[in-house]
Every structure is written in C-alpha cells, then in structure tokens.
Amino acid sequence: MDVTPNFRARIYALALILAVLAAIFSCGIATSAQTPGPLNLTIEQGADFSITLTVKDSAGVVVNLTGYTFAAQFRQTYASTSPIATFTCTCTVPASGQIVLSMPNATTGALTAPQSGVWDLFLTDASLNKIRLLAGSVTVAPRVTR
C-alpha cells in the first residue's frame, strides 16, 4: 500500500497550519508608521473558506475590537478597480480580539482556478481612522470533485 500521497497531504496541512499560526501570533495592530503583517492565503475552489485571526498589540496583548469595523477584499492586483471577491468579516466577541474571515462555497466555487491575486484587511475605528492590519497574496487552488 502506498501512503505517500496521504503523508504529503498531512505535511502540507501541517505546514499551512504552522504558517497561519505564525502569522496570527506575529501580527499586531498596524499604525500608519508600520507596514501590515504578512499573511498569504490559499482558497480551495468550491470549499467553504474560514480563518480566525487574533489581533494583538506589539506587546502581544489581545486588542479589544469593540467599536471597530472590518473589510477585506481579494483583487487580481493592487491596482485592480474592482474586487474578485469580498471576505465576510465577523467579530462576535470583540474583547477576544478575534476576527473570522470567511467565504462560502458558492463564492469560492465561482472563482477561476488556478488563479492568484492579492488581499488585505482593514480595521476602521469609531473615529473612522483606517488601519491596514494584514496583506498578502491569495492563491485559488482548483478543485477536482464537482
């Protein structure tokens, strides 16, 4: 019995989890004097996409997100005039500092794959100050099963 494909899939999943965890624990609230934290995303075509991000300040303390709103988009390039897709951004317990970015399978299923582009996440506070918290590349992986 050949277990190599299963082993590769597990290694890939572990590497992806480690990359996401590293990004989550290293990102802090960016200010205009800082660059956004990097986080590259892979979206599986036709599958529900969801990632939970915990926002921490530069000292590693969870940021209370009460009063903030959030917006995240996926575009072909930074200069593209319209988004390919928009992420749903949810923060159900602001004191936890957690934001869930998601995209339903109906949306990911309509994405062209393979495809790559860019994304970012903005936070807006009660005074309408905008903070670009995270940014990176997006890869849409094609599905086989339909």
Across residues 10-31, what is the average pLDDT? 42
The reported pTM is 0.75
Q: Is the pLDDT of residue 24 over 50?
A: no
The CATH number assigned to the domain holding 20 equals 2.60.40.10
**Residue 78 falls inside a structural domain:** yes
Rg of the chain over Cα atoms, rounded to whole angstroms, equals 16
H or E, element range at 51: strand 49-54
Segment 97-114 mean pLDDT: 97
Structural domain count of the chain: 1
For residue 13, what pLDDT band results from cuts at 50, 70 and 90? very low
User: What is the number of residues in the chain?
Assistant: 146
Helix and strand numbers, DSSP H then E, in the chain: 2, 8
Residues 6+ apart with CB under 8 A from 40: 19, 136, 137, 138, 139
Q: Determine the pLDDT at residue 28.
A: 46
Q: pLDDT tens for residues 38-74?
A: 999 999 999 999 999 999 988 999 999 999 999 999 9
Query: In whole angstroms, how far apart are CA 41 and each of 15, 71, 94, 139, 140?
Result: 13, 16, 23, 6, 9
> Does position 9 have pLDDT exceeding 70, yes or no?
no
Which range marks the domain in which residue 111 is found? 4-141
Domain assignment present for 130: yes
> Can you tell me the distance from the alpha carbon of 58 to that of 67, in angstroms, rounded to the nearest whole number?
20
129 inside domain: yes
Q: Is residue 24 part of a domain?
A: yes
146 in any annotated domain? no
